[in-house]
Amino acid sequence: MEMAGLRDTVWTIRVDLYRAAEANASLKAFVRTLLLSPGFEYIFWMRIAAHFNRTMLGKCTLGLAARFMLKRCSLRTGIQIPFQTVIGEGLYMGHFGCIVVHPYARVGRNCNISQDVTIGQTNRGPRRGYPVIGDNVYIGPGARVVGGVHVGNNVAIGANSVVTHDVPDNAVVVGIPGRVISHQGSADYVIYTDYARPPE
């Protein structure tokens, strides 16, 4: 069981790397990207901390060290994504700074999160709760996705938009409050998503 969990974690990190390193998941690309990309460095330690949290090693030295490294990255980059947050493989953060994601939010596969993005909760009203975001979603700089909203697959959310209502698949959303202006989706924004999982 734990070996299967480790394989899943390694697979997830490789997909994250493939997107961050422009379709290169080699060891050389891993070292270079870990050293030069603060966004990928944060994602890496978030995945490692999440892995140990799911195992009996969560409170051992390795688990605590992973959480320490994640906290250190958070203080340095301004990214606050708890390791408990459910986020699919292929997460990409090209720039860092003031990225905040609620621990109960859910984010799908191959999501792009830009700088100064907030994915947070609403405490009252009909949209009380936390966002659920689909696969292949692009979230532009300064965007806010708040409350119990569902964002579909292949959606592009424009810079500084505020999303407070559900968004259908393939939509392009802009404005405050966010409104759908087309159905061209996130094509050409979310790229390098063709990483094939090897057979077991």
Amino acid identity of residue 68, one-letter, is F
Alpha-carbon distance 86 to 110, whole Å?
Answer: 13
Whole-number percent of the chain with pLDDT over 90? 80
Mean pLDDT value across residues 182-187: 95
Question: Domain 98-187 maps to which CATH number in 1.10.3720.10, 3.20.20.330, 3.40.50.720, 2.160.10.10?
Answer: 2.160.10.10
- Pairing outcome for strands 79-80 and 99-101: parallel
Q: What is the pLDDT of residue 53?
A: 86
Q: What is the pLDDT of residue 43?
A: 97
Q: What is the pLDDT of residue 127?
A: 86
Q: What is the pLDDT of residue 1?
A: 41
With a cut of 70, say whether residue 68 has pLDDT above it.
yes
Alpha-carbon distance 50 to 175, whole Å?
Answer: 34
* 62-66, 76-80, 176-180: least confidently modelled range: 62-66
Tell me, yes or no, if the pTM score tops 0.75: yes
Token reading at 153: 């697959």
Residues 6+ apart with CB under 8 A from 59: none
* Closest by CA position to 2, among listed 50, 42, 57, 43: 57
Domain boundaries, the chain: 1-78, 98-187
Q: Which residue has the higher pLDDT, 60 or 198?
A: 60
Mean pLDDT value across residues 165-176: 96
* Closest by CA position to 130, among listed 144, 114, 150: 150
Assign 54 a pLDDT band (cuts: 50, 70, 90): confident
Mean pLDDT value across residues 49-62: 78
Task: Tell me what the pLDDT averaged over the chain comes to.
Answer: 92
Q: Could you read off the pLDDT of 83-135 as tens digits, one per residue? A: 999 999 999 998 888 899 999 999 999 999 999 999 999 988 888 999 999 99
Say if residues 166 and 184 touch (Cβ distance below 8 Å). Answer: no
With a cut of 50, say whether residue 146 has pLDDT above it.
yes
